[in-house]
């Protein structure tokens, strides 16, 4: 240590000590209050789950096991009436907890059947139950609400959530749109089962996740009942509404397919949707069994949206998808939907994998080899957007859907494949999907699993491709 440095340190210490003296009085008061009040910090559920990119997403202190959503949407006035019943369990003592809900008016809120106090604070719906919930307690929250849902604008400028269309609504929630249409613990760390009961004017179809339990028309209104029993993150829920042509069938593997297509997109969509069973079979051979009982597609005409989303069991497309997009969104059923993120920073585990599935599909269906796709990307200049930030550390919510996450994320997987060989590589993908099925996975766990399955040390490879700034050099 240089003398200069030591002097600076001493100066800092002095300043700190002086501040400590000044702070003594308030600290003592706070300590007294903490000791006296049972309602002190530690019994309120936090306003977020601690995601650095979306700090208010999700809520601490409880886990939602099941959502029962009853919705009525008037496509003409764009008015939504909703009741959400959340079956939850407290993970700590709770005198207060939050839900995520943006916009809409809450008219009634009960906890275990008793009305509870609530207030709105931005996207937080702050609930104070009449009696504190104890750690481990099962409880039920019922929220009655209505209004005109409005999409939020994501940090990357995309609309997100309940997005009105000329004949209904395109409903997609990644990363933060779920809160625009139902109150939730809305972070991918949290997965739950869902029941939907959606009423729309006769002639419109409401499509959600999972299997269709039934539909009934009375007095000019049709109610659709959907059920998703497999765990699902809130951002993957949909309730897309429109005038749709519906096609239903069961695949050879017993998967129930439900396709809903805007008639204006039907001609363009037909040849691609026809391939869905063979795409799912191909993906099942590569990644292991399809994780759900239901599958399908929602092909809407939503010109303002600009993206598709891997809504669980049934991706939603803003227009007729091309085959690559169909492959991509269905690959997410394994990577992103079944195996979920614990933090948005790990988004390459979703987008890198789904993009690499597109490369593999091309390679095995008469198109470019994955190596050729890699080489073309690698040939771009170091100043290209592709190298703007590393996929394993995009830096902010504005970057999670950028080219480095998709393309360089897929390049990282291709490097892995070259390093371990095809046999080990596909074993890794299948083990990843199987071991984390219905749950979560982190990048660190993926690296560990890759090393275990291949018997190779891979930290250098992942450091280079996932975490190092700028275009990696060739080995």
- Spatial CB neighbours of 331, under 8 Å, sequence gap ≥ 6: 283, 287, 353, 354, 357, 358
Nearer residue to ligand ARG within complex by CB, 337 or 453: 337
Whole-angstrom CA distances from 272 to 258, 264, 268, 322, 341 are: 15, 15, 8, 6, 29
> Residue numbers of the site for ligand ARG (CB under 6 A)?
154, 156, 158, 160, 174, 307-310, 328-329, 351, 401
Task: Choose from ligand ARG, Zn ion, none: what does 358 bind? Cβ within 5-8 Å by kind.
Answer: none
Shortest spacing between CB 401 and ligand ARG, in angstroms? 4
Task: Choose from ligand ARG, Zn ion, none: what does 353 bind? Cβ within 5-8 Å by kind.
Answer: none
75 neighbors 45 (Cβ within 8 angstroms) = no
Query: What is the DSSP secondary-structure string of 237-273?
Result: ---EEE--EEEEEE-TT--EEEEEE-GGGHHHHHHHH
Task: Choose from ligand ARG, Zn ion, none: what does 307 bind? Cβ within 5-8 Å by kind.
Answer: ligand ARG
Shortest spacing between CB 304 and ligand ARG, in angstroms? 13
Shortest spacing between CB 170 and ligand ARG, in angstroms? 12
Nearer residue to Zn ion within complex by CB, 106 or 405: 405
Helix axes 348-364, 323-331, angle to 10 degrees: 130
Shortest spacing between CB 458 and Zn ion, in angstroms? 24
Shortest spacing between CB 351 and ligand ARG, in angstroms? 6
Tell me which residue has its CB nearest to Zn ion: 354
Tell me which residue has its CB nearest to ligand ARG: 158
145 neighbors 79 (Cβ within 8 angstroms) = no
Distance CA 127, CA 125 (A): 6
Nearer residue to Zn ion within complex by CB, 101 or 326: 326
Nearer residue to Zn ion within complex by CB, 258 or 348: 348
> Residue numbers of the site for Zn ion (CB under 5 A)?
351, 354
Task: Choose from ligand ARG, Zn ion, none: what does 235 bind? Cβ within 5-8 Å by kind.
Answer: none
Laid out side by side, the sheet with 97-100 consists of: 97-100, 124-128, 117-121
Shortest spacing between CB 152 and ligand ARG, in angstroms? 9
Distance CA 111, CA 145 (A): 15
Shortest spacing between CB 155 and Zn ion, in angstroms? 17
Task: Choose from ligand ARG, Zn ion, none: what does 453 bind? Cβ within 5-8 Å by kind.
Answer: none
Task: Choose from Zn ion, ligand ARG, none: what does 156 bind? Cβ within 5-8 Å by kind.
Answer: ligand ARG
- Spatial CB neighbours of 143, under 8 Å, sequence gap ≥ 6: 82, 83, 84, 86, 99, 101, 106, 108, 109, 125, 183
């Amino acid at each position: 240590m240089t003398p200069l440095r030591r002097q600076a340190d001493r100066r800092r210490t002095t300043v700190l000590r002086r501040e400590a003296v000044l702070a003594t009085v308030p600290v003592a008061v706070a300590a007294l209050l903490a000791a006296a009040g049972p309602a002190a910090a530690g019994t309120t559920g936090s306003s977020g789950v601690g995601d650095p990119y979306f700090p208010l997403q999700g809520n601490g202190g409880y886990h939602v096991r099941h959502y029962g959503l009853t919705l009525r949407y008037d496509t003409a006035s764009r008015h939504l009436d909703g009741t959400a019943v959340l079956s939850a369990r407290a993970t700590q003592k709770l005198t207060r907890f939050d839900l995520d809900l943006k916009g809409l008016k809450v008219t009634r809120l009960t906890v275990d059947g008793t009305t509870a106090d609530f207030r709105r604070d931005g996207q937080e719906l702050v609930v104070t139950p009449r009696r504190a919930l104890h750690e481990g307690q099962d409880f039920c929250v019922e929220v009655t609400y209505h209004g005109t849902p409005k999409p939020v604008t994501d940090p990357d400028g995309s609309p997100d959530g309940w997005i009105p269309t000329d004949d209904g609504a395109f409903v997609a929630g990644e990363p933060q749109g779920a809160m625009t249409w139902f109150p939730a613990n809305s972070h991918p760390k949290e997965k739950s089962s869902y029941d939907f009961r959606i009423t729309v004017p006769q002639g419109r179809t409401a499509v959600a996740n999972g299997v269709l339990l039934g539909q009934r028309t009375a007095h000019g209104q049709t109610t659709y009942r959907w059920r998703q029993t497999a765990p699902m993150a809130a951002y993957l829920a949909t309730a897309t509404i429109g005038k749709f042509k519906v096609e239903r069938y069961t695949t050879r593997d017993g998967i129930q397919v439900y396709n809903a297509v805007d008639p204006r997109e039907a001609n363009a969509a037909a040849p691609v949707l026809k391939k869905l069973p063979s795409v799912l079979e191909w993906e099942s051979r590569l990644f292991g069994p399809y994780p759900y009982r239901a599958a399908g597609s929602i092909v809407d005409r939503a010109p303002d949206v600009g993206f598709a989303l891997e809504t669980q069991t049934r991706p939603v497309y803003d227009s007729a998808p091309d085959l690559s997009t169909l492959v991509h969104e269905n690959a997410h059923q394994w990577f992103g939907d079944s195996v979920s993120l614990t933090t948005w920073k790990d988004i390459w585990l979703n987008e890198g994998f789904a993009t690499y599935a597109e490369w593999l599909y091309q390679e095995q269906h008469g198109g470019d080899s994955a190596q050729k796709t890699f080489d073309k990307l690698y040939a771009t200049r170091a100043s290209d957007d592709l190298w703007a930030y590393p996929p394993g550390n995009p830096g902010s919510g504005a970057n999670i859907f950028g080219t480095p996450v998709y393309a360089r994320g897929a390049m990282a997987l291709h490097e892995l494949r070259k390093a371990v060989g095809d046999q080990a590589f596909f074993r890794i993908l299948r083990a990843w999907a199987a071991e984390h099925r219905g749950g979560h996975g982190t990048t660190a766990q993926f690296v560990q699993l890759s090393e275990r399955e291949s018997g190779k040390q891979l930290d250098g490879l992942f450091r280079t491709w996932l975490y190092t700034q700028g275009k990696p050099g060739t080995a």
